[in-house]
Amino acid sequence: MVIEFKLPELGENIDSGDIVKWLVKPGDVIRKDQPLMELETGKAVVEVPSSVSGKVLELRAQEGDKVNVGDTVLTVEGQAETAAPPKPKETISVGAPLKAEAAKPELAPSRPSSAGGEDQAQADVIPAAPVVKRIARELNIPLSDMKGTGLGGRITIEDVQAHASRRGARGMATAEPLPDFSRWGEVEAKPMNAVRRITAHHLTQAWNTVPQVTQYDKADIENLENLRRKYAPRVEEAGGKLTMTAILVKVMASALERFPHFNVSVNLAENTIIYKKYIHVGVAVDTSYGLLVPVVRDANRKNFHEISIELARLSERARQRKLDPSELEGACISISNTGGIGGTGFSPIVNWPEVAILGVSRAATEPVWSGNQFVPKLMLPLSLSYDHRAVDGADAARFLRFVCESMEEPFLLALEG
């Protein structure tokens, strides 16, 4: 029988991707768990495994096409493992979640009748990706209030945005139409790549959702920079790189331990603040195809040496587009360091649902008053953007001052951190 293979769920915050490369072609005989394609999700390039075995009949999308979770991407002549013996020519649809090695393909569930008070059952089978359900939940929009425009009635992010716009919901503003630029000269429209699409959506949501304030300060890193240069060769021998960013990962982890009300997320739908008992630090990495933020997990439990090695590995994997989506999730706070490029300061956007992000600019030698004279000091500009719903200005100033003092007196970090 003919089996329709639908793009499976790709992760909590992923509902679509761009096909980078097909790994099979019509006529190939495939087996369960065999990689079918390389898919760029906007955060990483992942291999999508098959949940069925059989002969490939048709590829329903081309390399470069954008496909959504639930879209049929290929058809296979084979036997579904969980299906009863089918009638000739019967067509069914299957899909399997990534990384679920034991998962078997399932028949697409039918929507239950509204008769008999089965509202909850209906909600459970409303076709929508996890990211769509999460956004709708945050905006307090019942999925049952919407009619999906996606394949098979699937509810898309655009459907949620349109509904929120009609309702006047803040946080999911629709784009204003642009003027016709061709009236003034030649133009060319190029589609956003997957990374840029995800970034644009996420930052728009963050900017419209989070009331953000930025606190600025400077740290005297003269002593720290001397220590970094002294011990950098030892870390390099182990395959790491002792950068100022790696040091800041440890500093930020210690700051979250000292100020646990920064290690939270705001849930306005339920008027609660979620306190996290773990400390994971995200680090923005500039790549040729966009900004990615891999996560150093349990940074408070790791020393500078371990963090340096892990961060070097994550950064290299990010630049090679080899990060797993799970390596980009779960951060409690983020760091964005533009010091290697230049600039004297900037205001980073909070990486929602986190409540704070640290911006790092280029260090410069400046005259600093010592009490009786000016002395040259290597000063590092820092900027802390924070969610004013969860953090007050005085606390943000204390938090950033702690970060500065930890860098100015590295021994204190080892002593108290």
- What are the DSSP calls for 102-139, one per residue? T----PPPPPPPSTTS-HHHHHHT--B-HHHHHHHHHT
pLDDT of residue 176: 72
Alpha-carbon distance of 131 to 108, in angstroms, equals 20
- pLDDT tens digits for 214-253? 999 999 999 999 999 999 999 999 889 999 999 999 999 9
Continuous segment of H or E residues that includes residue 273: strand 272-275
- The answer to whether 160 and 146 have CB atoms below 8 angstroms apart is yes
The residues spanned by each domain of the chain are 2-94, 122-167, 211-416
Give the side-chain half-sphere CA count within 13 A for 390: 26
Its CATH architecture, for the domain 2-94, is Beta Barrel (2.40)
Band the pLDDT of 43: cuts 50, 70, 90: low
- Tell me the C-alpha to C-alpha distance, in Å, between residue 383 and each of 292, 368, 394, 400: 20, 19, 14, 8
Task: Quote the CATH superfamily of domain 122-167.
Answer: E3-binding domain (4.10.320.10)
| pLDDT tens profile 81-97 | 544 443 444 444 455 44
| Average pLDDT over every residue of 133-140 | 70
- The answer to whether residues 300 and 256 touch, using CB atoms and an 8 Å cutoff, is yes
Lowest mean pLDDT among 46-50, 71-75, 282-286: 46-50
Looking at residue 125, its pLDDT comes to 63
Rounded average pLDDT over 339-353: 92
What's the pLDDT score for residue 92? 45
Would residue 345 be called left, alpha or beta, if left means φ above 0 and alpha means ψ between -120 and 50 degrees? left
Which pLDDT score is estimated for 254? 95
Per-residue pLDDT band at 363 (split at 50, 70, 90) = very high
Q: Please tell me what DSSP assigns to residue 305.
A: H
Helix H or strand E segment including 394: helix 393-408
pLDDT of amino acid 122: 47
**pLDDT above 70 covers what percent of the chain?**
81
pLDDT in tens, 148-205: 887 677 888 777 767 766 655 444 445 678 899 999 999 999 888 777 777 887 788 8
Structure confidence by residue, pLDDT tens digits, 378-404: 999 999 999 999 999 999 999 999 999
Percent share of the chain, pLDDT over 90 = 51
pLDDT at res. 117: 44
pLDDT of residue 91: 44
Other C-beta atoms within 10 Å of 250: how many?
A: 23
Convert the pLDDT of each residue in 201-220 to its tens digit. 778 888 888 999 999 999 99
- 97/130 Cα distance (integer angstroms): 12
Tell me the mean pLDDT in the region 254-275.
93
More confident residue, 75 or 47: 75
Q: In which region does residue 230 sit, left (phi positive, over 0), alpha (psi from -120 to 50) or beta (all else)?
A: alpha
Q: Please state, in angstroms and rounded to a whole number, the distance separating the CA atoms of residues 364 and 373.
A: 19
- Determine if residue 157 is left, alpha or beta; phi over 0 gives left, psi from -120 to 50 gives alpha, anything else beta: alpha
Spatial distance between the Cα atoms of 33 and 333, rounded to a whole number of angstroms: 35
Q: Provide the pLDDT for residue 131.
A: 67
261 given a catalytic annotation: no
Distance CA 234, CA 237 (A): 5
Q: Mapping DSSP to helix (H, G, I), strand (E, B) and coil, where does residue 28 land?
A: coil
Q: Which of 237-246, 298-307, 407-416 has the lowest mean pLDDT?
A: 407-416
Residue 75: band (very low, low, confident or very high) from pLDDT cuts 50, 70, 90: very high
Query: Which residue is catalytic, options 201, 202, 305, 388?
Result: 388
Residue ranges in 210-261 assigned as alpha helix (H): 222-237, 244-258
Q: Find where tokens 């005085």 sit.
A: 394
Greater confidence (92 vs 293) lies with: 293
Higher per-residue pLDDT: 170 or 21: 21
211-416 fold: Chloramphenicol Acetyltransferase (3.30.559)
CB distance 8 to 108 below 8 Å: no
User: What pLDDT, on a 0 to 100 scale, did the predictor assign at position 181?
Assistant: 92
Rg over alpha carbons for the chain, rounded to the nearest Å, is 25
Mean pLDDT of 125-133: 73
> Averaged over 359-368, what is the pLDDT?
96
Q: End-to-end alpha-carbon separation of the chain, Å?
A: 62
Question: 304 by DSSP, 3-state: which?
Answer: helix
pLDDT at 170: 44
Nearest Cα neighbor of 202 from 111, 58, 328, 34 is 328
> Mean pLDDT, the chain, as a whole number?
83
Full-prediction pTM beyond 0.95?
Answer: no
Q: Residue 321 above 50 pLDDT?
A: yes
Of 43 and 114, more confident: 43
